[in-house]
Amino acid sequence: MTSTTHRPRIAIVGYGSQGRAHALNLRDSGFDVTVGLRPGGPTEIKAKADGFTVKAPADAVKDADLVAVLTPDMVQPQLYGEVIEPNIRDGACLLFAHGFNVHYGQITPREDLDVVLVAPKGPGALVRREYEIGRGVPSVYAVHQDRSGHAEALALTYCAGIGGARQNAIRTTFKEETETDLFGEQAVLCGGATKLVQAGWETLVEAGYQPEVAYYECLHELKLIVDLFYEGGITRMHEFISETAQYGALTRGPYVVDDNTRAQMKKVLAEIQDGTFARQWIAEYAAGNARYKALKQGDLEHPIEAVGRKLRANMKWLANAPTPAKSTPADARSAQQEEAA
C-alpha cells in the first residue's frame, strides 16, 4: 500500500465463485472484509461458515471504503440504483470485475466515487488455488473515475490482495476490458470453440465414423492442445505435435479459418463495439431469457453430449480433477452465477 492511501475496509457484494475467492484471498492478505448478501440467501450460510461477517448489502456498503460488486451483470444496475448508490459513503471506491455495465451506460456511478476494475484472467477456483500456493492469476485493472487521486493505487492494492499483482497486472480501460472480453468469449473461447467442436464431430459422424472416435478426436484431445497453448503458446504446440500434424495444421487450418471467418469475427467485434450485442442481451434478459434458454438447451441436447457422458463415465481420473468455477473463461468473472444481492 502506498503512503497516500490507507488499507481500505472492503465489502464484497456477492459470494459465488469470484466473490468467495476474492474475499478469502483479501482476508488472508490482511484486509478487513465484510460480505454483503441478502439475508437467508443460499450463500449466506457458506460465507458464515468461512468465518466472514455477513450483512445485508446496504449495511455492508455503508461501512466500507471499497465496495466490490461481484454479482451477475444483469442484476447490477438495479443493485447499484437501489442499494449501493443510496448507501455507499462519499468518496468511497466502487470496484467491478467486468466493465459491462459502466461501459454500456447501465450504471452511471456517482461523481464523488472512485470507480475501478480488477479482472482476474481465470475462474474463482483458480484465483483461490493459485493464491494458496503462493502464486497468482494474471489480472487486468482499470480506472474509470479518480476522484481521490488514489484510484489506481486502490485498484493495485486490491489486485495485490487477491494475488493478481504477483503476475504483473496490466492496466487497461473499461472499454478495452469489456470489448475484448466479450469478443474472446463469443468468437474464440466459448462460441467459436463450441461450434468448431460440434461441426467437426458432426462432419465425422455424418461420414460414417463412430461417434465415440469422433468425440475423442474433436473434443477430448482439444485439452491436450489447449494445455500446450497455455504453457507456451503456439510455439510449444509445434514442439510437441508430430510433423504430420504440423503440416496438416499449417496447410488445412486456413480451409476452416479463412477470409470469411475473419469477416464474421469482424462482424462480432463491430456488434460489441457499437452496442448491438449489449442491447440484445439486456432486452433478452428483461424479456425473460426465452431465446437464451432455448439456445442453451440446444447445446445441452447436442448428440455429442450424450456420447461424452458415456465415455467420461470410464475416465476415473476425472473424479479427482479440480472443477473450474462456472464462468466465462476469459473473464473469469464467474460472478455471473453469483447470488443476486
Assess contact for 114 and 151: CB atoms under 8 A.
yes
Residue 176 marked as a ligand binder:
no
Residue 28 marked as a ligand binder:
no
Give helix 303-312 / helix 191-206 axis angle, nearest 10°.
Answer: 90
Q: Which of 22, 98, 103, 144 is catalytic?
A: 98
Residue with cell 484510484: 151
Residue 301 marked as a ligand binder:
no
Assess contact for 181 and 330: CB atoms under 8 A.
yes
98 noted as active-site residue: yes
Q: By C-alpha distance, which of 134, 173, 140, 135 is closest to 159?
A: 140
Cell numbers given for 254: 486456413
Phi–psi pair at 197, nearest 5 degrees: -65, -50
Residue 32 marked as a ligand binder:
no
Residue 171 marked as a ligand binder:
no
Rounded CA separation 229/7 (Å): 38
Cell numbers given for 46: 457458506
Assess contact for 301 and 33: CB atoms under 8 A.
no
Residue 43 marked as a ligand binder:
yes
Q: Which residues contact 36 (CB under 8 A, 6 or more apart)?
A: 11, 12, 13, 14, 54, 55, 56, 57, 58, 59, 60, 61, 67, 341
> 3-state class of 181 per DSSP?
helix
Assess contact for 158 and 95: CB atoms under 8 A.
yes
> Which bin fits 275, alpha (ψ -120 to 50), beta or left (φ > 0)?
left
Residue 18 marked as a ligand binder:
yes
Helix (H), strand (E) at residue 150:
none
Residue 85 marked as a ligand binder:
no
CA distances from 17 to 206, 231, 245 (A): 39, 24, 38
Rounded CA separation 337/304 (Å): 25
> 3-state class of 276 per DSSP?
helix
Residue 15 marked as a ligand binder:
yes
Residue 215 marked as a ligand binder:
no
Helix (H), strand (E) at residue 247:
helix 243-256
For the annotated binding site for Mg(2+), the residues are 181, 185, 217, 221
Could you tell me which residues are annotated as the binding site for substrate? 242
Q: Which residues are catalytic?
A: 98
Binding residues for NADP(+): 15-18, 38, 43, 124
Show binding-site residues. 15-18, 38, 43, 124, 181, 185, 217, 221, 242
